[in-house]
Structure 1
């Protein structure tokens, strides 16, 4: 998976350095092309140059293609191609696709791969149709322009990429519900994860009790975080004249809800994040770090990891020997994996933040926000991305790459070989807490 995503980034970088990819007709420097290609493949949305201003139509189409490739996943696309050509999947392809799509068994891989493609294209088509209709009727776009903008933003939204074809992202549409709501719906849908939608479709006519633990945990935790985020952000910014304070009640609620969805790793913004209160930025840091659902287009440590560790803490406080969650017992191996994901993620973000603080003159709030946004593949920024030195851009590039393929996958790939422990040492318990 690491090699596959790295190869996609490399191809995207080469294409974006071509003179035809820029509006000026001049070759784009390597660091900028690498950063943009990584941001697109890793469906992040951070940019160091203005997307509509710097890139030509060819460059924008390259970015769109990289977003779709990164959102669906390299192995998923390869598996789909294999199915189309041979109508079967070899064992190696099934194993790699199983890793990326989080299929539970090898027998599930083919169904999951096809399901991923159908879910993606269905949501993107519906959202694109709504946006095209709005651009035609509300903004007098020509049909070709409306189609281009509608498809681009639908793909970018469902894949949680956050790339926009406007210099101010979506700030021009801050009070337009016909643009903001469809994009927010697409972000939530993509962020829930493909296994959720496949299982929901499978049990559409059955009881909710038939949903697996993963689906129930993902949906419930996502709903809670969306409500908590909306209340916290809207309340904190309600009277801020530079953000929500300049709108009426309806506009404030719409913008507050929109910005509660975006930290799910989408990266669109309808308000200037540089004007947010420090507390609002911290709320965004937390929401971005948690992220969305597993095996979807979202980043972060994932909502299931966050919820599971919360229940682990509850079980420990209650002195319970095992963790029970929604009528099921959670294996200790899953608990260790969740703990490893969180600690590796925290260590990565802290290291990057310290590095950026040493390389730039920006404050801790700004640098931490940027680091979390890059690692969680969100794409939100307080505006400092374009002012980073090349070394800072490379730090964020590594963060985006590690965040997209996952800290566990990234760490495992760095290990040159797998070791088997053939013995156990005498047991001894240190004092905790």
Structure 2
């Protein structure tokens, strides 16, 4: 048995890393489905059908937040605990695996050789791996504990919840927010707190921190300490692109949400100007793959839904809990278009020339994502009786692992639920595995073919 376990461990670490990611998340979804199907997981005590359990487990592991049954009323304490554990596993797992894959494809740390050696010696005490694991765990616990304590105090003293209930509500929503999961214990998500900045702002901050990505958080913290001693910042291009693009998208989403929904009686209309700005920002943050909503998504204007789809599709930072094509992919494509419009031979960003393979990878990820969303929307339209904008919104939300919905998720038939399950799974692991696979397949060609330019446009 020991020899067989050794061979299995060796196989898991020596096969392509992308396959390891798929296998790990598939096993987590399978285990969650089994646990959520148990009678003890439902408040009724009669168990839950396999499709509902599979949908919920996939949504939790993929930190999406789409649900076909209400979390707070359908599931028992045990079921909610399973969902919370799956969210934590999914968020921690994607941050860890994506960070390790980033180290692997960088080529600087030769992580493949280190992992292989670790499997052979039955040890994972590798400096680089341990630094990533401890860093991700430290960031996760720090943010979740801080936000959970803040929310628990607010629920206790602002809403009179008993201490155990306030602690449970606080930490459940903190874990769900940092992992960009969007699972809530209220039927209407955060709409009871639409005017309460003491609840919605901490949730938005946790969402942003989780969506930025561990490599960026670690670099900011490390260089902050270094700046105190040397006075230099020296952030990498990846960190600069992530922070600047994230800030720009947050501001753009806030402004557009306020402009488009300012007079809408179903969303921002009844609120005063300060509350409108607050909820415009909260919606912009949640559109970056969180899934909470403090205003009614189903009552939004069609133009706002389209804008939200765009933000969801772009998503958050690489190696974070957010989904989408990632802000760096969007920034690289924008730089390439700007360079082409200026007639420049190379794409330049902040004094750096972007590598050609980075442009090809960004274009591949974006076009495949667009194709997958369009194909899935067409498939959903054949089985879901809902307006096209609502179905498109649902498809983008599932693929980008956001969890926002116009309210049609529970009405989707079984065939449509299976499509959404596939969307969530591919959307969660697809960009990570695709980019790592493309990077690891790079090879040098020893000859060049004759060049010819077809007519474009």
- TM-score, structure 2 as length reference: 0.86
Do residues 144 (structure 1) and 164 (structure 2) align? yes
Let me know the Cα RMSD of the aligned residues.
Answer: 2.6
Contact 2:315/2:327, CA 8 A, preserved across alignment: yes
Aligned to 1:228: 252
Match status 1:66 vs 2:86: yes
Q: Which residue of 2 aligns with 1:371?
A: 395
Moved segments of 4+, more than 3 Å: 74-77, 89-97, 106-109, 410-414, 417-427
Matched, 1:362 2:382: no
Q: Check the 8 A contact 1:2/1:413 in 2, yes or no.
A: no
**Alignment match, 1:161:** 181
What is the CA-CA distance between 1:154 and the residue it aligns to?
0.3
For the residues of structure 1 that align with 2:232 and 2:257, how far apart are their CA atoms? 31
Name the structure 1 match of 2:36. Answer: 16
Residue matched to 1:349: 373
Partner residue in 2 for 1:214: 238
Q: What is the Cα deviation at residue 276 of structure 1?
A: 0.1
Q: Is the 8 A contact 2:95 2:136 kept in 1?
A: no
1:172 is displaced (CA, Å) by 0.4
Contact in 1 for aligned 2:43/2:74 (Cα 8 Å): yes
Aligned equivalents of 2:395 and 2:69: distance in 1?
18
Matches within 5 A, 1:20-419: 20-73=40-93, 76=96, 94=115, 108-205=128-225, 206=227, 209-407=233-431, 409=433
Question: Which region of structure 1 is more displaced relative to structure 2, 44-53 or 243-252?
Answer: 243-252
Cα distance change on mapping 1:208 and 1:154 into 2, 3 Å: farther
Cα 1:144/1:213, change in 2 over 3 Å = same
Shift in Å, 1:107: 6.3
Are 1:112 and 1:198, in contact at CA under 8 Å, matched by a contact in 2?
A: no
CA shift digits 1:48-85 (9 cap, x unpaired):
001111100100000000000000116938x99xxxxx
Quote the residue 1:100 is aligned against.
Answer: none
Counterpart in 2 of 1:431? 455
Instruction: Tell me how far 1:111 sits from its aligned partner.
Output: 1.6
SS of 1:240 mapped into structure 2: coil
Aligned equivalent of 1:85: none
Query: How far 1:317 moved relative to its partner?
Result: 1.3
Q: Distance in 1 between matches of 2:442 and 2:111?
A: 24
The count of corresponding residues between Structure 1 and Structure 2 is 415
Shift of 1:110: 2.8
Q: Kindly state the Cα deviation for residue 422 of structure 1 after the two structures are TM-superposed.
A: 8.7
Whether the 8 Å CA contact 2:192–2:294 is kept in 1: the answer is: yes
* Alpha-carbon distance between aligned partners in 1 of 2:258 and 2:248, rounded to the nearest angstrom: 15
CA 72–412 in structure 1, closer or farther in 2 if over 3 Å, else same: closer
**Distance in 2 (alpha carbons) for counterparts of 1:157 and 1:2:** 24
8 Å contact 2:140–2:178 — kept in the other structure?
Answer: yes
Q: Work out whether residues 65 and 401 of structure 2, in 8 Å CA contact, stay in contact via their aligned partners in 1.
A: yes
Offset of residue 241 of structure 1: 0.7
Could you tell me how far apart the structure 1 residues matched to 2:409 and 2:287 are?
17
Displacement of 1:410: 5.5
